Amino acid sequence: AASRLDFQVRDLALAEAGRHQIRLAEHEMPGLMALRERYAAEQPLAGQRIAGSLHMTVQTAVLIETLVALGAEVRWASCNIFSTQDEAAAAVAVGPTGTVDAPAGVPVFAWKGETLEEYWACTQQIFAFEGGPTLILDDGGDATLLVHRGRALEQAGRLPETADDAAEEERIVDAVLTASITADDRYWSRIADGLLGVTEETTTGVHRLYELAKEGQLLFPAINVNDAVTKSKFDNRYGIRHSLPDGLNRATDVLIGGKIAFVVGYGDVGKGAAESLRGQGARVIVSEIDPICALQAAMDGYQVARVEDVLDEVDIWVTTTGNEHVITTEHMLGMKHLSIVSNVGHFDNEIDIAGLAATGAERVEIKPQVHEWRLPTGRSILVLSEGRLMNLGNATGHPSFVMSNSFSNQVLAQIELAQRSAEYATDVHVLPKVLDEEVARLHLDALGVQLTTLTDRQAKYIGVPVEGPFKPDHYRY
């Protein structure tokens, strides 16, 4: 069993710098701060042990300290090898009242630039509570995956058999599971049994949860935080509108205006990406597989084309699909000299980097998370964050105000499972609309929004309560 103050971060001396940033972020996160105030006396998370796997940024530090303020014990890892802000991780480990010599914060296992082995070792660390965790807070589903795969192997009474052609990451996960199951062949089963549920942050993680539920393999209730309106219609869209150009600028500082940019996918993230690139003066082309989203893109004024048809025109590529190999090796071989190739979807398989390496292309590091690939064709392309989320790898992710919306949903979802898990069947649920509206309400004052109140007659006329909820569940915003 781990003691309460174990942690692994880059450098605790960064804690002061991190604490300053956290203090400023708190001012920009009115939803989280209102929840701290509202629940200070009640302590709805008292007795909960939360295993968190989510980008270890300054904004996440405010989330973690909110969970602690509501009574929880927390252990944390990042959900991506490049997304940690080392000063935020250090500040969380030291804690608001601790010192570098006597850290008194939260056990956090995260640093920028982990290897995949380190990443999965850190993910395993978040479960090492005395008595096991009671809740998972996940982003992308890696923490949830470890428990499900570990328990399935224990139930079957065997160690993982890694296929000869398995991907590197699969081998690493299997090695982690082999070690834990060899030491204790009920380890993951006990963890699964102790969990009240998981709250999942992102589209890709939610997709994995619905698959598990469909196959009858989901082990505990899950709340789909992503599909709260105040999450996906804000963070995915307005968040990326801010952090995508931030990543491009910090990585390359290439002028976006006048360039041709290509956004693969026109869902929530794609819409924000296209808008920001157009805002910088780029001519934006979009691709889609879904006729509805393709039509939306066309009506929003974008050219809609296929990747392979415009390879020699595009200067900046951004993938936003949550799908695999939407940019193939063949595509990259046909691209313009020094075009920028980047991804903001959750996993690094959107761009076929493994295929690129197999062409014999030479990889030259311009700086960390920026690589020139010298192709056999004589041209080069610039790949950001090795094909992983570039808004977090090359920049610092979404800004505080939008993350306050997402993370207020996370906190409310954690409280739901802590207090009412018996009412949630082992399935995937979204938060009730009144909580969604509440999260939005918590952010209005900070922006000087004056909300109109329905009169009783008006409320009756449109058939909704004066205090909401204002829309039926099928409304799409």
Binding site for ligand NAI (CB under 6 A): 202-204, 232, 235-236, 239-240, 264-270, 287-290, 293, 320-323, 326, 344-346, 389, 391, 398
CB of 82 to ligand NAI, least distance (A): 12
Phi-psi region of 451 (alpha: psi -120 to 50; beta: other; left: phi over 0): beta
202 is in an annotated binding site: yes
CB within 8 A of 241, min separation 6: which ones? Answer: 272, 273, 275, 276, 279
204 is in an annotated binding site: yes
66 is in an annotated binding site: no
- Residue closer to ligand NAI, measured from CB, 134 or 320: 320
257 is in an annotated binding site: no
CB of 301 to ligand NAI, least distance (A): 18
Phi-psi region of 459 (alpha: psi -120 to 50; beta: other; left: phi over 0): alpha
288 is in an annotated binding site: yes
Distance CA 184, CA 194 (A): 16
CB of 122 to ligand NAI, least distance (A): 20
Distance CA 245, CA 24 (A): 22
409 is in an annotated binding site: no
386 is in an annotated binding site: no
- Residue closer to ligand NAI, measured from CB, 70 or 256: 256
Distance CA 144, CA 136 (A): 7
CB within 8 A of 58, min separation 6: which ones? Answer: 18, 21, 22, 25, 85, 87, 88, 396, 400
CB of 175 to ligand NAI, least distance (A): 26
Q: Are 30 and 23 in contact (CB under 8 A)?
A: no
Distance CA 166, CA 186 (A): 26
Map tokens 């380190």 to a residue.
118
- Residue closer to ligand NAI, measured from CB, 87 or 235: 235
Measured from each CB, the residue nearest to ligand NAI is 267
- Residue closer to ligand NAI, measured from CB, 73 or 201: 201
Select from 200, 267, 206, 196 the least CA-distant residue to 237: 267
Number of CB atoms found within 10 A of residue 455's CB? 10
CB of 26 to ligand NAI, least distance (A): 21
CB within 8 A of 467, min separation 6: which ones? Answer: none
- Amino acid letter for position 382: L
- Residue closer to ligand NAI, measured from CB, 93 or 403: 403
Phi/psi of residue 326, nearest 5 degrees: -80, -20
- Residue closer to ligand NAI, measured from CB, 142 or 154: 142
268 is in an annotated binding site: yes
CB of 137 to ligand NAI, least distance (A): 15
- Residue closer to ligand NAI, measured from CB, 144 or 287: 287
Known binding-site positions for substrate = 57, 139, 201, 231, 235
Known binding-site positions for NAD(+) = 202-204, 236, 265-272, 288, 323, 391, 398
Known binding-site positions = 57, 139, 201-204, 231, 235-236, 265-272, 288, 323, 391, 398
